[in-house]
């Protein structure tokens, strides 16, 4: 792009420029390995890596423009390579967002953006919004933990962060989605992404709040800091959707938000409410109350928490101008995200459920959700997460103690940890070590172990990463698929039965 440095949102990030007049920029990246001829390389500082350390690599790969915030270092490099353009900025993270926005000619402004934040429920709310608005006739995409999905299905893109992409990756996605005729995007906005400026410069049509509970305190240190990070989304939004049942954050949003505000609730008076919930094998029926008018509805979802998530999506659709009668007609088409209380039907004679539960609160909701199900025994797989703080692992065992007939313990994303150590941390949380406890360090083998323990009529709960297609091992993302291991077991089981 020739006029990149003439854009006002780019100019306001720049302190000064040295070197030849910036050449035409062909790409923007913060990863020196992805630099090509005439790239603009932006040095951002992460938790563990500083992009300024890779300037040499970026130049060798063809970077013509180098952007960074370390003034003295940038000047040193200018004296070494006066044939390159060096741009000193006030904040590299904000510069990355502004440069990427300008590079793609602000295409994101052609999309209606909805941001969803909260500790639990973001992924499911995002999926519900995408499926509802698509059913209502508007091509809609979603971005988050479950990956990128557009109106046609899952989009094959490289993920660089667990949930909310880095800003330049995000603007690349926006450009691709716009080219694909997408008009609406629902995306997860994590507290870390908001704090790190990945969403800098975006203005959301709607900001949606789910709830606030202790999490990511290894990054935020305090609940106040965690809450304030999430509140930043509402400073970048025109309208807000708030869960009145959440004491952690709802009041803070209501007291500070200046725009149009809508509410939803199961427990108290709100714009959109749900009452008389009844769970069945096919889903949940309830009374939906909108502006005081009552509708008897049925949706293919399970659990009170998912009814709350659906209320968030319904309220969002109403904020967008859709009539409640239109929205209700689309309820049979509501789809959750993979791995969020996902019922699998490939295992005859047994009930098999995937769920992302990996915290005490999530397990509490999960056990409550399966109460209406009929089954003989409960087979439960739980996982300690190697790349997260070790103090979280025993809490998983405490949350599930006494809840299952068989418990299989494994490891998600071992990282640099020894799987045996991770599993030992998990089981240290049991007050009384279960009699039927199985430790299997490799997740795929653990899934097959859980399946092998089940008899006809049993319910198998596979918890943890579920829908992710990789495992982080020794700093590398290794391909992985839960479903592959289920199919392998079924194939072997069929052969054994036939023999």
Query: How far is 276 from 435, CA to CA, in rounded Å?
Result: 39
Residue 145 marked ligand-binding: no
**How far apart, in whole angstroms, are the C-alpha atoms of residue 16 and residue 68?**
11
Beta bridge partners of 406: 379
Determine if residue 123 is labeled as part of a ligand binding site. yes
Burial of 308 (0-12, 13-18, 19+ CB in 10 A): buried
**Annotated binding-site residue? 278:** no
120 annotated as a binding-site residue: yes
Q: Which two tokens stand for residue 81?
A: 């390579």
**402 labelled binding-site residue:** no
Whether residue 36 is annotated as binding a ligand: the answer is no
Q: What is the DSSP string of 169-193?
A: HHHHHHHHHHHTT--EEEEE--HHH
The overall longest dimension of the chain from CA atoms, in Å, is: 75
Distances, alpha carbon 197 to alpha carbons 30, 93, 192, in Å:
14, 6, 9
Query: In Å, how far are 73, 74, 88, 206 from 55, measured between CA atoms?
Result: 10, 9, 13, 38
Q: Is 243 annotated as a binding residue?
A: no
- Pair 460, 351: CB distance under 8 Å: yes
Whether 172 has a binding-site annotation, put simply, is no
Nearest to 381 by CA among 353, 402, 360, 421: 353
Residue 484 marked in a binding site: no
DSSP assigned state of 7: -
DSSP string, 368-399: HHTTT---S-EEEEEEEETTS-GGGHHHHHHH
Tokens of 367: 């056990």
d(CA 286, CA 304): 10
In the β-sheet with 351-355, what is the strand arrangement from edge to edge?
A: 342-344, 351-355, 459-463, 378-385, 406-412, 437-439
Q: Is 280 annotated as contributing to ligand binding?
A: no
CA dihedral (463, 122, 225, 192) positive or negative:
positive
Residues 58 and 285: their CA atoms lie apart, in Å, by 57
Contact criterion met (CB below 8 Å) for 4 and 68: no
Are the CB atoms for 242 and 263 separated by under 8 Å? yes
Q: Map tokens 């698509």 to a residue.
A: 134
* Whole-number Å distance between alpha carbons of 451 and 471: 21
Report whether 164 belongs to an annotated binding site.
yes
- Give me the DSSP letters along 133-178: HHHTT--EEEEETTEEE-SSSEE----SSSSSPPHHHHHHHHHHHH
Q: Which residues are annotated as a binding site?
A: 32, 118-124, 163-164, 190, 196, 198
Q: Which residues are annotated as a binding site for ATP?
A: 118-124
């Amino acid at each position: 792009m020739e006029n990149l440095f003439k854009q006002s949102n780019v100019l306001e990030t720049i302190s000064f420029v040295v070197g030849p007049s910036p050449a035409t920029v062909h790409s923007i990246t913060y990863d020196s390995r992805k630099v090509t001829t005439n790239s603009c390389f932006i040095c951002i500082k992460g938790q563990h890596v500083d992009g300024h350390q890779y300037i040499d690599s970026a130049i060798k790969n063809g970077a013509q423009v180098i952007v960074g915030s370390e003034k003295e270092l940038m000047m040193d490099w200018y004296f070494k390579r006066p044939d390159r353009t060096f741009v000193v900025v006030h904040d590299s993270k904000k510069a990355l967002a502004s440069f990427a926005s300008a590079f793609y000619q602000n295409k994101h402004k052609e999309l209606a953006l909805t941001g969803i934040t909260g500790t639990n429920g973001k992924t499911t709310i995002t999926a519900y919004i995408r499926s509802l608005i698509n059913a209502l006739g508007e091509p809609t995409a979603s971005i988050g933990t479950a990956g990128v999905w557009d109106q046609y299905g899952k989009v094959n893109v490289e993920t660089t962060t667990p949930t909310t992409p880095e800003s330049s990756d995000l603007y690349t996605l926006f450009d691709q989605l716009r080219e694909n005729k997408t008009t609406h995007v629902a995306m997860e906005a994590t507290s870390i992404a908001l704090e790190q400026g990945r969403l800098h410069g975006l203005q959301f049509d709607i900001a949606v709040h789910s709830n606030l509970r202790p999490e990511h305190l290894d990054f935020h240190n305090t609940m106040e800091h965690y809450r304030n990070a999430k509140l930043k989304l509402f400073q970048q939004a025109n309208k807000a959707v708030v869960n009145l049942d959440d004491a952690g954050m709802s009041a803070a949003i209501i007291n500070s938000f200046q725009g149009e505000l809508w509410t939803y609730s199961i427990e108290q008076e709100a714009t959109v409410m749900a009452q008389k919930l009844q769970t069945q094998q096919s889903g949940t029926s309830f009374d939906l109350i909108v502006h005081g008018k009552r509708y008897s509805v049925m949706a293919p979802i399970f659990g009170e928490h998912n009814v709350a998530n659906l209320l968030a999506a319904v309220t969002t659709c109403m904020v967008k101008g859709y009539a409640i009668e239109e929205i209700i007609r689309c309820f049979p088409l509501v789809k959750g995200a993979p791995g969020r209380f996902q019922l699998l039907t490939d295992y005859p004679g047994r009930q098999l459920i995937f769920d992302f539960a990996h915290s005490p609160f999530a397990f509490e909701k999960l056990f409550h959700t399966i109460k209406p199900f009929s089954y003989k025994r409960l087979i439960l797989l739980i996982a300690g997460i190697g790349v997260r703080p070790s103090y979280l692992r025993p809490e998983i065992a405490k949350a599930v103690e006494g809840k299952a007939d068989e418990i299989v313990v494994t490891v998600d994303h071992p990282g640099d940890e020894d799987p045996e150590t991770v599993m030992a941390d998990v089981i240290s949380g049991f007050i009384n070590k279960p009699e039927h406890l199985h430790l299997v360090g490799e997740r795929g083998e653990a899934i097959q172990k859980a399946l092998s323990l089940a008899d006809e009529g049993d319910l198998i709960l596979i918890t943890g990463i579920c829908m992710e297609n990789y495992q982080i091992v020794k700093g590398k993302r290794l391909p992985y698929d839960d479903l592959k291991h289920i199919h392998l077991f079924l194939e072997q089981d069929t052969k054994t039965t036939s023999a």
